Amino acid sequence: MAIRKMRVVGEDDEILRTRCKEVEQMTPKIKKLIKDMFDTMYEQNGVGLAAPQVGVLKRIVVIDIGEGPYVFINPEILETEGEQTGNEGCLSVPGKFAVVTRPNRVVVRAYNEDMEEFVLEGFELMARAICHECDHLDGVLYIDKMEGTLHDNDELED
Ligand code: CO
């Protein structure tokens, strides 16, 4: 188990705002990175984490919304549909939440840890997580898309 240092807004903006590079091939180092990303995400009770959040500028995302772990390498969103409006948080914006509107359904194509291509359809929280994490790979944070202001809890305000 290896926890990596979380990069946060205000301190690590240069890293968080950089477009990440595609993964060309799987290496033992990248496998270790993915394992550490899960360890780091679970330790902080997150449901998703992108590699730049631990300081690595590669197009790698991990997600677990409670339905098991998913790894997305070089993810590309192929389709989006509908919308959902709700609170969102980010381990790089600790202790804060804000309302963001996202698609309610997404279809994403990516590679797994063995660099095998797959296509996944996600709804609701999974769709939100995929959009949020893919944004990280382009240096985009949810605070760029929030409606209203940041707040300190994840309760919806009237
Ligand atoms: Co985030």
Q: Taking the domains of the chain in order of start, what are their residue ranges?
A: 13-155
Q: Residue 66 C-alpha to ligand 1 middle, in angstroms?
A: 17
- Tell me how far apart the alpha carbons of residues 26 and 151 are, in angstroms, rounded to a whole number: 39
CA separation, residue 63 to residues 10, 151, 155 (Å):
24, 24, 22
CATH 3.90.45.10 fits 13-155, yes or no: yes
Q: Residue 23 C-alpha to ligand 1 middle, in angstroms?
A: 20
Q: Residue 133 C-alpha to ligand 1 middle, in angstroms?
A: 6
- Selecting among 14, 67, 88, 133, the annotated active-site residue is 133
Q: Does the annotation mark 81 as catalytic? A: no
Q: Residue 140 C-alpha to ligand 1 middle, in angstroms?
A: 9
pTM across the whole model:
0.96
| pLDDT per residue of the chain (158 residues) written in tens, 0 to 9 | 899 999 999 999 999 999 999 999 999 999 999 999 999 999 999 999 999 999 999 999 999 999 999 999 999 999 999 999 999 999 999 999 999 999 999 999 999 999 999 999 999 999 999 999 999 999 999 999 999 999 987 766 54
